[in-house]
Amino acid sequence: MTDTAQRLAEIRGGVPPRRHNARTIAALTGNPGCTRRAVLDSAGVDKPKLAERIGFPARFGQSRFAITRGNAFEAQVKADGGVELLRLVAERLGVPVPAGASWTDLGGDEDRPERSRAALTAPGQGAALFDHPLLGLDVAGRRVHLEPDLVAARLGGRFHVVEIKSFPVIDGQADPAKVSAAAIQSAVYVLALRELLSTAGGDPELVSPEVVLVCPRDFTNQPVASLLDVRRQLLVLRRQLDRMARIDDLLAAVPAGFTADPAADPAALREALSTVAARYAPDCLAACELAYFCRHEARGQTAALGRPVREALGGVDGVDEVLALAAGERAPEPEQGEAAALLRAAARLRADALAGNPS
């Protein structure tokens, strides 16, 4: 075990690292500047448990109705050996619909990584659909296995990632937040699939950056396919994974003896966490299990009010500092001169208008 691995194991406590999936890897791209998150995720800390232990449980429940619906739609689309799926994908890609395609379910076996590699890199040009391929990705120096709920379609010699999602596309439009979440998840798969091909000596560019998204159309159960270009997401992902690969740099800033072992004393954990810098933003609430703790910690900071607010306040960090500058009770730092003048003017105008002076 390397020093780094040893250090990460200490941080994690006496438990195996939490497994990543495409969703957690995709979430890593959410707030790339946050050291606390990068360290905890690299160590594979059980963040939901940790958050609960320190008294700030995450609220990421999923309704069983949504899960049932998602599974039913997926089963429906994949039915009959993927005939319907093949037609949808081929038509969307603008290639002639092949007379037939092989359907390989790579799920459910013990030797899946091997089988997946063999199946996906086997020579062959014919149309083929691979369900549940097991893919791997290096995250923070550790091999992570992804069990994507996806189909890799080989059509015209190229691979396309096919994602089946149960949110509707109504009159050609879907919920933008759900589409962008699907895009970044798909990008994880594209990346892993490319890696698999290139390690086997193949051409990674055979995996198209255009992902096929299959969703129900309008208010029906009929599937409709759309194309998503995930090139931008691939760049973001690549950068964050590279950053996590340089975990040693990050660990250098972490005090020795830091632990996030959920078995430790809650007060000690809170104390320890506060020694690793976080960069809280309101968006974290939707993406990170630790967000409620970080929000509590960031109370009184302008960043907790959102980036636009912080920027409008001239980038000044603390709420107290803002109010003191606005009231002219505090001498601005050299670089705060402009912000302080703006805040003073704002405070004067606000007081003026609230006092009912005519304007």
Partner 1 sequence: MSTLRALAKAQAVAAGVAQPVATVRHLHLSDRPLVLVPLAMAGEANAPLAALVGAAPDEARLLVVPQPRNREQRLAFAAELAEAVLPHLESFRGVSEAVPVDRGRDVRYRYVDAPQLIVPNPAGITFLRLLGRSTRFRRPDGEYPVHPSVPLLGRWLTFFAERAEHPGSAALVALTEALTLHWATGQSAVEDLHLPALLGWLDPPPGTTGAEAAARAEDPQTCPPAGPATDPDFDNHRLAPAMAAYAEAEDDPVARAEAYAELERLLRGQLEPTWELMWRGLGLLRALPPGARVAGRWAGDRDAFTGYAEHVDAGGGPQPRRDGAVAAAVRLHRLERALASYAVQRAYDDPLVMAEHRLTGEAFVGDVTLADPKRVDDSGKRPVLRPRIQVVTTEPVLVPVGATLYSPARPAQKAKVVFVTPAADGKTEVVLELSGGMGRGLTAPPGSVPEVGERLCLTTLSDAYLPAGNFPAPEETPWTHGGPPAEAV
d(CA 137, CA 121): 17
Tokens coding 146: 């992804």
Examine residue 285 and tell whether it contacts partner 1 (CB under 8 A). yes
- For 188, the 3-state DSSP assignment is helix
Examine residue 246 and tell whether it contacts partner 1 (CB under 8 A). no
Examine residue 283 and tell whether it contacts partner 1 (CB under 8 A). yes
Stretch that binds partner 1, among 24-32, 47-55, 97-105, 296-304 (CB under 8 A): 296-304
Tell me the closest approach of the beta carbon of residue 350 to partner 1, in angstroms.
6
Q: Applying CB under 8 A, what is the total number of residues that bind partner 1?
A: 56
Nearer to partner 1, 132 or 310 (CB): 310
Tokens coding 222: 């009929």
Tell me the closest approach of the beta carbon of residue 308 to partner 1, in angstroms.
4
Stretch that binds partner 1, among 136-144, 255-263, 270-278, 319-327 (CB under 8 A): 319-327
Tell me the closest approach of the beta carbon of residue 58 to partner 1, in angstroms.
12
d(CA 233, CA 163): 15
- For 211, the 3-state DSSP assignment is strand
Q: Report the residue from 96, 253, 309, 317 that binds partner 1 according to the rule CB under 8 A.
A: 309
Q: Are 157 and 125 in contact (CB under 8 A)?
A: yes
Q: Are 101 and 129 in contact (CB under 8 A)?
A: yes
Nearer to partner 1, 262 or 314 (CB): 314
Examine residue 356 and tell whether it contacts partner 1 (CB under 8 A). yes
Tell me the closest approach of the beta carbon of residue 170 to partner 1, in angstroms.
6
Tell me the closest approach of the beta carbon of residue 49 to partner 1, in angstroms.
18
* β-strands 210-216, 128-131 pairing: unpaired
Q: Report the residue from 38, 302, 332, 340 that binds partner 1 according to the rule CB under 8 A.
A: 302
Tell me the closest approach of the beta carbon of residue 335 to partner 1, in angstroms.
17
d(CA 170, CA 137): 35
* β-strands 128-131, 102-105 pairing: parallel
Tell me the closest approach of the beta carbon of residue 162 to partner 1, in angstroms.
20
Examine residue 313 and tell whether it contacts partner 1 (CB under 8 A). yes
Q: Is 148 left (phi over 0), alpha (psi -120 to 50) or beta?
A: beta
Give buried/exposed letters for 162-182 (b at 16+ CB in 10 A, else e).
bbbbbbbbeeeebeeeebebb
d(CA 281, CA 34): 10
Chain mean position to CA 140: 15
Residue 47 to residues 18, 39, 60, 175, 289, Cα–Cα distance (Å): 9, 11, 12, 28, 6
Stretch that binds partner 1, among 30-38, 66-74, 127-135, 226-234 (CB under 8 A): 66-74
Examine residue 67 and tell whether it contacts partner 1 (CB under 8 A). yes
Q: Which residues inside 36-65 make contact with partner 1, applying CB under 8 A?
A: 59, 61-65
Examine residue 179 and tell whether it contacts partner 1 (CB under 8 A). no
Binding site for partner 1 (CB under 8 A): 59, 61-70, 166-168, 170-172, 216, 218-219, 282-283, 285-286, 299-300, 302, 304-306, 308-314, 319-320, 322-323, 326, 342-343, 345-347, 349-350, 352-354, 356-359
